Structure 1
Amino acid sequence: MYQPMPPENLNSHILTVLGLPLLNKLQQLEILFERCTVRQIQEIYPLIVHSIFGINGNPLGWGLRITTMENASHSFNRLQHFFGVNGIWMHVCHRLLNETTKFDIDIHLLPRKFIGMLQAGPMFYADLINIDPLKHQVSTLSLNAFDFYIFHFALYALQPLHTINPIAMQIHNERTKTIYQYLATEYLDNFLPQYPDASIEPSNFSSSVKAPQQMPVQALQPQRKLRYLKLPSSYRNGNNNASGAVSGNTSPQSVDSSDATCRAHVWRSESVLHFFVDIWLRYDIESEHHLPSSDFVRGVRTLVKQIHFFANAAHVDHSPLCALRKQSLTMVKVSIYGFLCSLIDRWPLDSSLSVVLELWLSYIQPWRYTLGSNNHRTVGVLYEPPITNAFDGFIMDNLIVYTHIFMLLLPRFERLDYTVYRNAYMLHRLVKTFSQQDLVQRLQRFERLHTGHNYGVDSPQRQVNMLNKSLNNSYNAQWNPSVSSDMPKLFSESMHMKIHNFLYLISMVRNSVLTNIISALRKEILERQRSEGYLKNLFKKFIGESSQDELTLRDISRIPEVLRQCIDAFCRTFDVDQESLSMHESLQTEASPTASPSSQNFSFFDPNNSINSSKLTPMQMSLNASNMLDTVDPALLPIKSNEIKPLVKVLHIISESINERFGSRLEACYEREDFFGKLARQMLCAPMTEKWFEKSSGNVEFYEKQLPARVSLRPLASISSLCLMAISLCFGHFWCGFPSVGILILCVVFLMYRILLAVLS
């Protein structure tokens, strides 16, 4: 039983509630929804939606894209409970569902490409658009409560929060999952279900919101195709078929009761599919000043995977959703190629390229997202689903997405630094995808078919029809006009040579990692351990502490094997003679001593310490660039997970003050040759040369800075050091009666340990 709130207090009260902190706001809104009538909720509903997503205000909104389980677990759980598919908010949206309650969105607030799509008059939006009678253009969208929320939810992903908020910038560079990503996954899985017998929640609502009805023509609705807007000639308000687009020949008079029943059960799935695909895949990457964030690309990948699951179950689904399942992949195909090309063109050349790579690999592998492959997956067991003939139509229909995207990525992979393990693993993911079963053989066969010369056919569509008949495949493949005979072919002689040269580059990098980088890093670690002494190394092994160099060596040691597997798989897949790579490499090795004695240790810099690129080949530039690394003061390295962040900053300030005041004395003591000098070398950080690259002026400049012997108190901020001090305090309290005695004993033991190291050195 709802207790109505006085109308005069509602507006002021909702503004007060929306200004509260998040947890208090959620609590007050739950109380408000229980007290308000449907009419009152309808009045404040747009204000709440605008507040959630930061419309005309703080772009963070309620922080859905910066809240994670790691940084705010309580807020994460409360938001999940509030916005889930069976949460309070979704039930409020369904309370407002009826045929008359509509909420308008100004067309000028929408993305440019989305507006262009609306001007083309797609059938799904025919009963949602309002037309300006003077300009004869779309002016607003009128949406019911559910569509209004889902539409804004999809738009919220386009906000460039990673450029305006430091928290979002940090989160979007990691693989942490925000509550927004969690909710997007939950909505897609619920409204685009994998299993045919799955129920769409919430199920207890009036289902006659979007059922087709015979309604009179609106006063502002044109009867003919306009110059600025294309609409079907048989258009009437509410005339949508079960699939939501494509077939525009059905008139209101031909809509029977069965069609109305079907539409009543699937309209929410229609809305979710159209809004997410039309908004996300029409992100104008080329015109936007900022790139989309990594979490947005991961969200698009989640959408692609869910649509694969949704579409692949069409052959076993006999419910009203079947027609929508068959249409879903076609909707994605319209925009995915341009979306991927724009991403690849502008994405930076670093390890974050993996999010774009994984999106592409997810789209071109629909066989991984079927009910059968989902049932075969077990924890800890790698399952490779087979590529059956049922997917030949998809491969043929998306041939350009396989071949041309591969050719776009290859030059960018040539410029990656493979001394970084994540980059080597990216290459491994690419090779692993194209080496599975006979995927490349299928691509080669379909690409040859598209040329038409070897088959004696006179039109592309006839080629497609012939292939469909020969495969006895029910997939409705349509000729893609982007695939023309003038476009470079993946299986051509020129591409074969490019792949050969790429593999030679990878083999050279692998040998460089094996012979130079790993051995040099091991030598540095051994020299450092030798200088620290046996007892200190034994103590480190006892507490299980690993240095940053040892962790780096662990990653780099895995690179040669990963690159070897990539070379082997590439050679098998693209029919490259692996022996020719070895011969080419041996010829380079034999020719190098005859050139000049200095060529074995070739460097960017001439004797004048300036760069002379005229002597460099692209291969030498790549190998030299991979060896040019920053060297910074260990006290300035990023804070590690086993350190207390505020304490690191405080100890750094104290260390800097000590070094500024007593720097000359510390340096003189470090240089002494007597026992006190040996002890100082055990207590202080050794002198070093900092090296880094500066890009602020627009050009990359190399800088060096000499650091003297200095004090660094940062090790005291580690959790292991704090635990050791806590144990000392407890020891002093229980055994001596004074906690300070325990700290004093610890300091004496530490000093004796350092004196012993100085004597042994």
Structure 2
Amino acid sequence: MSQPMPPENINSHILAVLSLPLLDKLAQLELLFDRCTIRQIQDIYPLIVHSIFGVNSNPLGWGLRTTTLENAVHSYNRLHQFFAVNGIWMHICHRLLNETTKFEIDINLLPRKFISMLQGGPMFYSDLINIDPIKHQLTTLSLNAFDFYMLHFVLHALQPLHTINPIAMQIHSERTKTVYQLLVAEYLDNFLPQYPNANIEPSNYASSVKAPQQLPAPSLQPQRQLRYLKLPSSYRNENGEAESVGVANTSSQSSADGHATASRIYTWRSESVVHFFVDIWLRYDVESEHHLPSSEFVRGVRTLVKQIHFFANGSRMDHSPLCQLRKLSLNMVKGRIYAFLCSLIDRWPLDSSLSVVLELWLSYIQPWRYTMGATNRTMGINYEPPITSVYDGFIIDNLIVYTHIFMQLLPRFERLDYSVYRNAYMLHRLAKTFAQQDLVERLQRFERLHSGNSYGFDSPQRQVNMLNKSHNSSYNAQWNPLVSSNIPLLFSEHMHSRIQSFLFGISMARNSVLTNIISTLRKEIMDRQRSEGYIKNLLKKILGETTQDEIMLRDLSRIPEVLRQCIDAFCRTFNVDPSTLSMHETLPAEPSPPASPSLQDFSFFDSNDVLDASMLTPHQMSLNTSNMQPTVDPALLPIKSNEIKPLVRLLHRISEAINNKYGSRIAAFYERDDFYGKLSRQLLYAPMTEKWFEKSNGNVDIYEKQLPPRVSLRPLGSIPSICLMIFALCFGHLWCGEAIIGLLLLCTVLLIYCMILALLS
């Protein structure tokens, strides 16, 4: 048995442990928790939580949002093991659970919109709020150990790390999973379980941490009035009867106390998780914050939305104490998601990263994809679950989220450059979602019924009542008088004309990719290969080398078919006649005549390099942005499937060391005009200007960096190169008696080949 820690040493010891490197810190904390008493752990618990999330110190904390499998595999696995739902940290949180142990969190650490919500006095937070009796102001929240950790965990996602840390900035741009994202998915899946009979871990504890109380239906009306937001005035159960949220009758109160206490022990952690995530994340003040949220944060919100759908869709088969929370959870999201999505779309940069916002929206409006039946299917990735009448109530209540968000996104899609594959794929995701026949039919029908007296009803409320009766829906919608009667309709004549014009532009973009961009790039690649000679091209194929132009051509070749599918899908959705677009599908392949000087020479800047946006049109913006492509050092391109990752990374470090030490000599050899200079230009990477984009303040800025001539050993890390060296070693062993001789012969042949190219250059 471990020896207990002396009380007088605990505070100094914990500060020393928290200053250690990450892996040493985790190991020492595990030993410390084993030796400390509950009272000692209670004293140091807030210090550890603040250290984890960088409260009042380095905002990176322990690196939960910067550690990935790619950049630190051992740290990634250790952090996940430590913070997992059955890890040592979660067990420590549960060891501290009792009615008297509370931890204070300063109100200044909370977001402004969350504080405003707390001042409204929501019932869930009523026993957590501390108010200054003199100033009558909210000062702190008193939380148990689990809630204290979980609230800090949720708040950590709001830190704008992508603006202050290079690693986090890279994660902001790439679809890389951090430890934080993994834990978000794991916590939500555990505390908001999909299956009714699932256990919530850790399950080996029993504590009456929170007093039993009726779970309130949250206020669904946002702080500010939204013009088109329509929400139900009250929650209704499956029989269409009002669900009571008041105090139980006096006669049944005493008999329900025992059951309420048992239910509270089982459900309170799930209540805390759903309230903290929804109330804080979906109140992110996109409009007022100086920095945009990171792509990682938006992907986290999407994980939350998907899990809420799983959680809520299980209510029909759940008879446990979680059933009521399942029913209320989706209403909590519904009260915030519209304003959150509108704010994101308004400020998000017009580039391929818009896909994270698009996928969040598409996940919310397709709850039928997140059911036990859909996840149990083995029909492949293209399986489309049916949209049954069970979801009619959801579609009615969220009609504005379907229609108005689509209309808000359409101008952004009109300005995208579809010579970029990721942009074309974004459009394909949008078209495929709205091409679902069951969804289109429902949206058209519900929009007509809500557009006012279309069917001769004397009031919008009566239309809704008739709709509920005609479809025998278990979801009883309510007409919200705040909804304007002049809502722009998605399936109106005006939108039909606009969609037709939009598809006209998509068809032109498809034709441009086919006849201009692809053919021009293919011709440039063929000309370069012709100038390099047959032997060098054959050697590149053997070594598996692929240039950036070839990668771009491969992506571009997929774009015309993707855009064709988008056009077909939108034509079916909005009843557009494809024949009106056929003239743009069969344009001749010969080069188009030169554009007029006004368009060909158009620039964002005048002769004094001053931005003049007075005459900008979407087409003119496209002419400029289509030429703005990131240029990356070939040595830093993503590792391909025919390369060995550890070897490529090792060779990159060796190349960097050589370039840092001998960079000036390498550049001098490259610039020489004699034979050595020609040979150097065959062996070294040529100087280039590296260009990339960075997002800040809602804008996209382009940055440049001059790269000198440099050594790159990356080609040696490919599988064909290794196979060629193994073949040379076997040849030397079998025919020359020494394996190394075969490798020397291979190097000699390659050197002679490069010398011949140098002489001919």
Label 1:344 to 1:460 Cα distance change in 2 as closer, same or farther (>3 A). same
Find the counterpart in structure 2 of residue 522 from structure 1. Answer: 522
Query: Within 2, Cα distance between the matches of 1:541 and 1:364?
Result: 46
Q: Secondary structure at the match of 1:256?
A: helix
Deviation string 1:199-235 (CA, Å, 9 cap, x unpaired) is 1111121232223289xxxxxxxxxxxxxxxxxxxxx
Find the counterpart in structure 2 of residue 719 from structure 1. Answer: 717
Find the counterpart in structure 2 of residue 168 from structure 1. Answer: 168
Counterpart contact for 1:396–1:477, Cα < 8 Å = yes
TM-score by length of 2: 0.84
Find the counterpart in structure 2 of residue 352 from structure 1. Answer: 353
Query: Within 1, Cα distance between the matches of 2:714 and 2:544?
Result: 17
Deviation string 1:39-59 (CA, Å, 9 cap, x unpaired) is 221111111111111111111
Does residue 143 (structure 1) correspond to residue 150 (structure 2)? The answer is no
Unmatched 5+ residue regions in structure 2? Answer: 215-236, 238-242
Q: Give the CA deviation at 1:410.
A: 0.6
Query: Within 1, Cα distance between the matches of 2:700 and 2:190?
Result: 50
Q: Give the CA deviation at 1:461.
A: 3.5
The structure showing larger relative contact order (alpha-carbon pairs under 8 Å, at least 6 residues apart) is 2
Q: Secondary structure at the match of 2:361?
A: helix
The farther-off stretch of 635-644 and 727-736 is 727-736
Find the counterpart in structure 1 of residue 230 from structure 2. Answer: none
Deviation string 1:554-578 (CA, Å, 9 cap, x unpaired) is 1100000000000011011111122
Counterpart contact for 2:543–2:715, Cα < 8 Å = no
Find the counterpart in structure 1 of residue 656 from structure 2. Answer: 649
Label 1:163 to 1:62 Cα distance change in 2 as closer, same or farther (>3 A). same
Q: Give the CA deviation at 1:548.
A: 1.7
Equivalent residue pairs, number: 715
The farther-off stretch of 452-461 and 622-631 is 622-631
Deviation string 1:431-467 (CA, Å, 9 cap, x unpaired) is 0000012212211221222222213334444332221
Query: Within 2, Cα distance between the matches of 1:106 and 1:203?
Result: 30
Does residue 129 (structure 1) correspond to residue 129 (structure 2)? The answer is yes
Find the counterpart in structure 1 of residue 286 from structure 2. Answer: 285
Query: Within 2, Cα distance between the matches of 1:701 and 1:78?
Result: 37
Question: Please, which of 600, 604, 615 is the counterpart of residue 603 of structure 1?
Answer: 600
Q: Secondary structure at the match of 2:154?
A: helix
Q: Secondary structure at the match of 1:105?
A: strand
Q: Secondary structure at the match of 2:69?
A: coil
Find the counterpart in structure 2 of residue 476 from structure 1. Answer: 476
Query: Within 2, Cα distance between the matches of 1:429 and 1:517?
Result: 23
Q: Give the CA deviation at 1:356.
A: 0.6
Does residue 256 (structure 1) correspond to residue 251 (structure 2)? The answer is no
Label 1:445 to 1:204 Cα distance change in 2 as closer, same or farther (>3 A). same
The farther-off stretch of 453-462 and 87-96 is 453-462
Deviation string 1:412-448 (CA, Å, 9 cap, x unpaired) is 1111111111110010000000001221221122122
Counterpart contact for 1:648–1:717, Cα < 8 Å = no
Find the counterpart in structure 1 of residue 511 from structure 2. Answer: 511
The farther-off stretch of 73-82 and 123-132 is 73-82
Q: Give the CA deviation at 1:162.
A: 1.1
Q: Which residue identity does 1:657 align to in structure 2?
A: S
Query: Within 2, Cα distance between the matches of 1:342 and 1:270?
Result: 27
The farther-off stretch of 13-22 and 448-457 is 448-457
Q: Secondary structure at the match of 2:562?
A: helix
Query: Within 1, Cα distance between the matches of 2:402 and 2:736?
Result: 74
Mapping of residues 735-754 of structure 1, within 5 Å: 745-754=745-754
Q: Give the CA deviation at 1:178.
A: 1.2
Does residue 433 (structure 1) correspond to residue 433 (structure 2)? The answer is yes
The farther-off stretch of 155-164 and 542-551 is 542-551
Mapping of residues 459-470 of structure 1, within 5 Å: 459-470=459-470
Q: Give the CA deviation at 1:646.
A: 2.5
Find the counterpart in structure 1 of residue 223 from structure 2. Answer: none
Find the counterpart in structure 2 of residue 343 from structure 1. Answer: 344
Find the counterpart in structure 2 of residue 187 from structure 1. Answer: 187
Label 1:257 to 1:457 Cα distance change in 2 as closer, same or farther (>3 A). farther
Find the counterpart in structure 2 of residue 372 from structure 1. Answer: 373
Q: Which residue identity does 2:346 align to in structure 1?
A: D
Find the counterpart in structure 2 of residue 211 from structure 1. Answer: 211
Mapping of residues 602-681 of structure 1, within 5 Å: 603-604=600-601, 618=617, 620-621=619-620, 624-625=623-624, 627-629=626-628, 643=648, 644-652=651-659, 657-658=664-665, 660-661=667-668, 665-666=672-673
Query: Within 2, Cα distance between the matches of 1:34 and 1:469?
Result: 62
Deviation string 1:146-194 (CA, Å, 9 cap, x unpaired) is 1111111111111111111111112232222111111111111111111
Counterpart contact for 1:103–1:148, Cα < 8 Å = yes
Find the counterpart in structure 1 of residue 407 from structure 2. Answer: 407
Deviation string 1:586-637 (CA, Å, 9 cap, x unpaired) is 8x999x99xx87559962259x997999999846525533542459696787
Deviation string 1:331-364 (CA, Å, 9 cap, x unpaired) is 0001100111111111111111111111000000
Q: Which residue identity does 1:719 align to in structure 2?
A: G
Deviation string 1:15-44 (CA, Å, 9 cap, x unpaired) is 111112222222222222222222221111
Q: Give the CA deviation at 1:651.
A: 4.9
Q: Give the CA deviation at 1:124.
A: 0.8
Deviation string 1:669-716 (CA, Å, 9 cap, x unpaired) is 79xxxxx98x89866888x997979999x9999999999xx9653356
Q: Secondary structure at the match of 2:183?
A: helix
Deviation string 1:316-338 (CA, Å, 9 cap, x unpaired) is 11111111111010000011001
Query: Within 1, Cα distance between the matches of 2:508 and 2:563?
Result: 10
Mapping of residues 487-506 of structure 1, within 5 Å: 487-506=487-506
Query: Within 2, Cα distance between the matches of 1:80 and 1:658?
Result: 46
Counterpart contact for 1:694–1:701, Cα < 8 Å = yes
Query: Within 1, Cα distance between the matches of 2:51 and 2:249?
Result: 39
The farther-off stretch of 398-407 and 67-76 is 67-76
Query: Within 1, Cα distance between the matches of 2:481 and 2:71?
Result: 48
Mapping of residues 576-595 of structure 1, within 5 Å: 576-583=576-583
Label 1:727 to 1:164 Cα distance change in 2 as closer, same or farther (>3 A). farther
TM-score by length of 1: 0.84
Does residue 93 (structure 1) correspond to residue 93 (structure 2)? The answer is yes
Q: Which residue identity does 1:260 align to in structure 2?
A: T
Deviation string 1:355-412 (CA, Å, 9 cap, x unpaired) is 111100000000001111111145x442110000110100000011101110111111
The farther-off stretch of 436-445 and 653-662 is 653-662
Q: Give the CA deviation at 1:304.
A: 0.5
Query: Within 2, Cα distance between the matches of 1:155 and 1:501?
Result: 44
Q: Give the CA deviation at 1:742.
A: 6.6
Q: Which residue identity does 2:52 align to in structure 1?
A: I
Counterpart contact for 1:162–1:172, Cα < 8 Å = yes
Q: Give the CA deviation at 1:729.
A: 8.6
Query: Within 1, Cα distance between the matches of 2:150 and 2:738?
Result: 63
Q: Secondary structure at the match of 2:374?
A: helix
Query: Within 1, Cα distance between the matches of 2:8 and 2:94?
Result: 25
Counterpart contact for 1:647–1:717, Cα < 8 Å = no
Counterpart contact for 1:419–1:626, Cα < 8 Å = no
Q: Which residue identity does 2:717 align to in structure 1?
A: I
Find the counterpart in structure 2 of residue 40 from structure 1. Answer: 40
Q: Give the CA deviation at 1:525.
A: 0.8
Q: Secondary structure at the match of 1:753?
A: helix
Find the counterpart in structure 2 of residue 234 from structure 1. Answer: none
The farther-off stretch of 539-548 and 281-290 is 539-548
Counterpart contact for 1:105–1:141, Cα < 8 Å = yes
Label 1:52 to 1:476 Cα distance change in 2 as closer, same or farther (>3 A). farther
The farther-off stretch of 654-663 and 342-351 is 654-663
Q: Secondary structure at the match of 1:282?
A: coil
The farther-off stretch of 481-490 and 82-91 is 481-490
Greater Rg by CA = 1
Does residue 416 (structure 1) correspond to residue 423 (structure 2)? The answer is no
Q: Secondary structure at the match of 1:376?
A: coil
